[in-house]
């Protein structure tokens, strides 16, 4: 597992700890469900290899580097 994954999961834990301290009742349960889903999605994305960031990955067809986009008009 990468350091980005551990950083994201650590951030989720910190935010959940703050939510547990500040929120009560239904709102707390909704926030816990939200962060549980985000954590699960993050783990699934890591296992599936979807961690290429935003935009097109370099290996995708049609992906352009910065130098290629400068020469197009």
What pTM, to 2 d.p., does this model score?
0.64
Closest CA to 39 of 14, 18, 57: 14
CA distance 54 to 47: 17
Confidence of residue 68 (pLDDT cuts 50, 70, 90): low
Per-residue pLDDT tens over the stretch 34-63: 999 999 999 999 998 886 665 554 555 555
Question: For residue 2, what pLDDT is reported?
Answer: 82
Per-residue pLDDT tens over the stretch 12-23: 999 999 999 999
Q: Can you point out the beta strands (E) in the chain?
A: none
Question: For residue 66, what pLDDT is reported?
Answer: 57
The backbone region for 53, taken as left when phi is positive above 0, alpha when psi lies in -120 to 50, beta otherwise, is left
């Amino acid at each position: 597992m990468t350091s980005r994954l551990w950083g994201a999961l650590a951030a989720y834990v910190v935010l959940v700890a703050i939510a547990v301290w500040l929120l009560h009742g239904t709102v707390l349960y909704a926030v816990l469900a939200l962060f549980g889903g985000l954590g699960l999605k993050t783990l699934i994305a890591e296992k599936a290899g979807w961690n290429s960031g935003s935009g097109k990955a370099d290996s995708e067809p049609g992906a352009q580097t910065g130098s290629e986009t400068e020469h197009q008009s």
